[in-house]
Structure 1
Amino acid sequence: MAQSDPATPVPVISTDTIVIGAGQAGLAAAYYLQQHNVDFRILDAAPAAGAAWAARYDSLRLFSPAWASGLPGRPWPGPARRYPSRDETIAYLRDYAAHFKFPLETNSHVTRLAAAPSGTGYVVETTSGQGYAARRVIVATGPYTSPKVPAWAAQLPAAVLQLPSRDYQRPAQVPGSGPVAVVGSGNSALQIAADLAATGRPVFVAFDEKTPAMPNNEVMWAFLVSTGLLGVSRHSALGRHMFRSPEPVVSGDLAKLRRWASAHFIGRAEAALPSGAIRGRRAATPPLEAVVWATGYRPDYDWIDLPIIATDGSPQHHRGLTKAPGVAFLGLNWLDSRRSALLNGAGPDARRVVTALLTMP
């Protein structure tokens, strides 16, 4: 039986729209494309939808209740007032993709997005060798993914284990029982620090004391949803004010962490010391065994070969739409509003962006 020639090029698959990423933003975009009877494909580097959630820490819970976290067309199963766990979120996203039978192509890591040689539409290349041609492309790879740590982190001795928050999953990952620091002033930093403090080992929390805190309960979510505050565009006067304001943390999580006797707050981190310690505004740590960096992420769009990326690597867009006709972003922090990178905001942003793309000439 004759074998195929491995040098034979794989035929390019043509479709109307390519969605890159099968997280909540990509799945919400797929829902609206399907509603409009558009021929499309979703490409994701992972073996299943919702893979970004699978990489998060085991104890993670959503910051929004199930009733306020659903994607379009399919509410969360189970009690509406609960705050779903990480594993529940993964299951929900995978069920969502399966329920609507989206054309999802997994293990398809995109290596290049560029204009088609013909001058019309775009080409998408993947590590599998499969190529795609499309009139439209939606980049829904989620918030930035390249860890951002202070330059002085390099001064910590090699013996100090350093983990970005995306790589932290459980306390057993951090060897030893001695001092560990968690650096960051967001909700993930508080939850990870509490996870580690629960083991009894000393945890030094480099948290900026000026960070605002607010409750996270049914009353707050009813207020945010009913007033529409989460959906206020950053391009409005109120939205610009909200965008410039510090992101609040959940007051309950902050109070819970403070109750752990093994948790020690040192203030905003300022420098590394030769001993392997970190100096904060209020105090310094002892020599550390490990540091978890919950200090945010930078953009990583080197694979986009289009004039829509700024010199600092960030995508250039207005409410998700770019100057490249037919190319849009979804799922970014403050893509348009506070909810843009949340499950709560995936549907509204996707509906607006898909509608705009489909009405373009």
Structure 2
Amino acid sequence: MQSRAPAGHRLPGVVFRSRISAVMLAMFATMASVYVAGRLWQDSENRVFLITEIDRRTGQGQSAVTVDDNLKILACRDQHKKLSELEIEVVGAKQKGFVAKHSSKSNGTHHGERLLAVIGIFTGFGRRKSRDAIRKSWVQKGAALKKMEKEKGILLRFVIGRSTNQGDGLDRAIEDENKLTNDFLILDNQIEAPEEVAKKIKLFFSHAADTWDAEFYAKVNDDIHVNLDSLTTMLSPHLDQPRVYIGCMKSGEVFSDSKHKWYEPDWWKFGDGKSYFRHASGEFFILSRALAQFISINRSNLKAYAHDDISVGSWLIGLDVKHINEGKLCCSSWSTGAICATVL
């Protein structure tokens, strides 16, 4: 019978095999670490490439922009504009002997100095008498309208969308009227209907901010008469305030009854009290340039509620905005110093 080898004779072989296993394990661990690190680096490079490619194709430059980022971008753009405009003003001042009140600026549709305000007068089909009444009082016509734009820096346009059956008699009537007056802003991509008014206000501010360079952008109804001299005086103190929202501020009841005139389909979003947040009355309100540009930049992501004034208020409530409750823009009655009045 063969005897077992003493334990001391078996130990070197065991130790040798253990050392081989440890070396192999270390090699595998190193290779795995290198492989994982390589894959992580490759994935990181792929993500960077994909993000860059998406940005290049969409032209956005960033895949996600916060509200604060937007406002900072607008502020930077404003600073660059002001620097360029100041250089132009210095040259003009030397030639004319004075510095213009408003910054010099030209764009594709309006040549001359920066406007003080662009005012959109919201109107609709079948409202010709209201428009004519305004033209006889404060809007003016033809050469007088152009003169007012140049001297007061205020551009006025009747804002209207298109008929549901685009190109029908309703659209042709507006086009014929515009040929005579040349005072319309016709929103080709907007349906003119009561349930579309919130989308209309968004498209107006977007279009106005993209088209005309102005200090302020305003919306007014076509049954409101406005004192433009008083408006100019009221706006002057706010020229250096970048984000102002001016109007007859109010809060009101949220109506959940679908039969009510002011029914709000999203009534449940406003809490148990069913009261709207603070916002300007839709009769007449004003936004500074940065806020109109904010609406333009973010138009595809802004929620439109049932009413235009609520919609605008909701877009601004989360921003660093100065809400100015201006009693002179409460148009229910005409009083001393009032800027507007409702015409029944």
State the TM-score, normalizing by the size of structure 2: 0.25
State the TM-score, normalizing by the size of structure 1: 0.25
Pair member with larger Rg: 2
Q: Which structure features the higher share of helix residues?
A: 2
